[in-house]
Structure 1
Amino acid sequence: MLKVVAYRLAISIPVLVLVSLVTFLIASLAPGNAAIAILGQGATPEQIVELQQRLGLDEPVIVQYADWLARAVRGDLGTSLITGQPVTQAIGQRIQPTLSLLIASIVVVSIVGCALGIFAATRGGVLARIIDILTFAGLAIPNFVFALYLIPFFALTLRILPASGYSPLAEGLGPWSASLVLPVIAMAFGSVGLIAKQARAAMEDALGREFVSMMRANGYSRASIVYRHALKTAGMPMLSVIGLASVGIISGTVLLEAVFAFPGLGGLAVQASGQSDIPVVVGVTVMFTIFVVIINLLVDLGFAAINPKVRLA
């Protein structure tokens, strides 16, 4: 188990470096200028050049990145070119809404999707067809479009949930949960059907194995066969699709945070991109990459728990 963790953490380091480098280059080459964003369109060329020199933007891009990387390995992601605020502090102020949305969405998608898939595999019938329809609808309709229909119905017509905004956990569990319901439903819409479909296929394959027939012949209970033995066999394919869906959820938070006016990392990244605030853009991108690394690590640990042979990889 420790070898799996150590290996994944080791290969994540070059991934983080590569992602930060590519993001830094793209952000540097993109149209826009932080000096102009600070001084305004009425600034003179001399003022812009002077501010660029003060901010270090006149240096070659690779030199700017090397300087950023040297500080990043010490835990310093730089400071915002616009506000002068440390990037780690800006991320810390915005991370709770994003983490709340991510964790709640992944938990709901995993539990509901797997439960539907297992039930469809063991019962079949109408539920299996419903899952097929749900999967098709989830793939065809973007989650932010689905969110635009949820808001008028639940927030304006029924008036039972807030239309937008985020309530911090410090304000109480009730307001915090209420602010997450619609974003989580919108986020889960595109992934529940996909996970359910893959879970159903994995369970049907497991239930069709020879060892299951032998267990039935030996009088094992249905619950023991399904939940203790077949589920373990189907666990690795189910974990794989949960991992893929979780990565998709991470990428989808930017749009949903905008739709529901969440003060999270997605909004911070969009704002920084519009202002050519390179340190903030790179810092947020690195943070999202860390989220992906954590998801992959958890999936690998799940594999190792299900199949001991994985621990030797």
Structure 2
Amino acid sequence: MISFLARRLLSGVALIFVISTITYLLVYSSTGEVARNILGESATAEQVAEKTAQLGLDRPLLTQFIDWLGNALTGDFGVSWFSSEPVTSALAARIPVTLSMVITAVVVTAILSTILGISAAVRGGWLDRVIQFVSVIGFSLPNFWVALMLVLTFAISFSWLPATGYVPFEESPIGWAATLMLPVTALVLGGIASAAQQIRGATIDVLRQDYVRTLRARGLSEGSVIYRHALRNAASPALTVLSLQFIALLGGAVVIERVFAIPGLGSLTVNAALLGDVPILMGIVVVMVVLVVIVNLIIDIAAGWVNPKVRVQ
């Protein structure tokens, strides 16, 4: 188990380094006009040159990267070029907001897709056909369109839920749940359908195995066969699907947070990209990759615990 975790940790660290390096080279190679963007069109050439030197952009790119990497390893990602706010402070204020939305969406997706997927695999018939049809519809609808329809229906037409904004959990748990209900719904509708389809397929494959027929021949109840044996072996592909769903939900949060005016990493990413605020963008990229690595590590541990054969693979 220790070697299993060590391999996953090393691959995660390598992934963080590679993606951070590639992103840095891409974004910093296109910062030629950033000083003028900060100072405005009325700035003189001397002022632009002075600002470029102040930001350190007149140095060789490799030197800039080595300095950034050394500071990043200590948790210092610099300051925003436009607001002078430390990147770590900006991220610390936004990460809990995005994680509360994404984690809630993952939990809802896991519960509902597991129930629907297993039900479709075991019962078949009309339920199976409905889930397959809904999965196609849910996957084809853009989540921003779903979000707008939810706002028009439940926030504007019926005034049941707030259309925009975010309430921290510590301030009001009820308000927190109310502000997340529509964004989470917009995120999970397509994800539940596709995840249920994947879980259905994995469960059907397991139920066709010889050992399942043997268990049934021995007189075990159908519930015991499904939930104590088949589900355990179908859990590994299901967990993989959920890890992919987490990554997709992080990407979807960028759009959803803009629609619902939620102050999370998504809105921060869009604002930083529009302004060309590279230190903020680099901090967001590193945080996103670290989150993905952590979630994949947790999924790998859970899969190895459910199915010990996974540890050998």
The TM-score normalised by the length of structure 2 is: 0.95
CA offsets, 1:66-125, max 9 Å, x none? Answer: 110011111211221222222111100111111111101111111111110011111122
Please give the secondary structure, in 1, of the residue aligned with 2:238: helix
Are 1:22 and 2:56 matched, yes or no? no
1:155 positional shift: 0.4
| 1:148 alignment partner in structure 2 | 148
Q: Per the alignment, do residues 71 and 294 of structure 1 end up closer, same or farther by CA in structure 2, a change over 3 Å counting?
A: same
- CA deviations on 1:144-181 (whole Å, 9 max, x unpaired) are 11111111001011211111111111211100011111
List aligned pairs for 1:29-178, cutoff 5 A: 29-30=29-30, 33-178=33-178
1:284 offset after TM fit, Å? 0.4
The whole-number CA distance in structure 1 between the counterparts of 2:113 and 2:88 is 35
Instruction: Say whether the 8 Å CA contact 1:79–1:85 is kept in structure 2.
Output: yes
Query: What displacement does 1:28 show?
Result: 2.0
**Residue 229 (structure 1) shift:** 0.5
Q: State how far apart, in whole Å, the 1-side matches of 2:177 and 2:272 are.
A: 28
Gap regions ≥5 residues in structure 1: none
- What is the DSSP-based 3-state SS (H/G/I as helix, E as strand, rest coil) of the residue aligned with 1:80? coil
**Greater RCO (Cα-Cα under 8 Å, separation 6 or more):** 1
Higher alpha-carbon deviation: 258-267 or 53-62: 53-62
Separation of aligned partners in 1, 2:241 and 2:282:
28
Decide which moves more: 235-244 or 31-40: 31-40
Equivalent AA in structure 2 for residue 280 of structure 1: I
Q: How many residues align?
A: 313
Question: Deviation at 1:222?
Answer: 1.6
The runs of at least 4 aligned residues of structure 1 exceeding 6 Å deviation read none
Equivalent positions of 1:211-222 (< 5 A) are: 211-222=211-222
Does the Cα contact within 8 Å between 1:34 and 1:82 map onto a contact in 2?
no
C-alpha distance in structure 1 between counterparts of 2:77 and 2:267, whole Å: 18
* 1:259 to 2:259 alignment: yes
In the alignment, structure 1 residue 244 sits paired with structure 2 residue 238: no
Distance 1:57 1:248 in 2: 34
SS of residue matched to 1:167: coil
2:187 is matched with which residue?
Answer: 187
Counterpart Cα distance in 2 of 1:239 and 1:87? 33
Q: Read off the aligned partner of 1:161 and give its amino acid letter.
A: L
Q: Distance in 2 between matches of 1:298 and 1:70?
A: 28
Instruction: Note if contact 1:3-1:311 (Cα within 8 Å) is conserved in structure 2.
Output: no
> RMSD across aligned C-alpha pairs, in angstroms?
1.5
Asked whether the equivalents of residues 233 and 307 of structure 2 are also in contact (C-alpha less than 8 Å), the reply is no
- SS of 2:286's partner is helix
Question: 1 CA distance for matches of 2:36 and 2:104?
Answer: 40
* Aligned mates of 2:137, 2:31 — CA distance in 1: 37
SS of aligned partner of 1:171: coil
Alpha-carbon contact 1:32-1:276 (below 8 Å) kept: no
Other structure's SS at 2:57 match: coil
Partner of 2:170: helix, strand, or coil?
helix
Sequence identity percentage = 41
Q: Is residue 239–residue 299 contact of structure 1 (8 Å, CA) maintained in 2?
A: yes
CA distance in 1, matches of 2:215, 2:3: 35
Farther-moved stretch of structure 1 (106-115 vs 243-252): 243-252
Deviation at 1:243, TM superposition (A): 1.6
- Structure 1 contact 165–261 (Cα < 8 Å) conserved: yes
Conserved in 2, the CA contact under 8 Å of 1:199 and 1:238?
yes
Aligned partners of 1:32 and 1:275 also within 8 Å: no
SS across alignment from 1:102: helix
Q: Aligned-pair distance for 1:34? A: 3.2
Amino acid at match of 1:23: T
Give SS of 1:163's match. Answer: coil
Cα distance, 1:32 vs structure 2 = 6.5
1:72 alignment partner, SS class: helix
Matched residue of 2:88: which SS? helix
1:13-39 residue CA offsets vs partner (Å, 9 max, x unmatched): 221122112222222233663322331
Distance of 1:171 and 1:89 partners within structure 2: 20
Q: Deviations over 1:218-276 (max 9, x none)?
A: 22112111100010121112112122222111111111111111101111122112222
Counterpart residue identity of residue 184, structure 1 = V
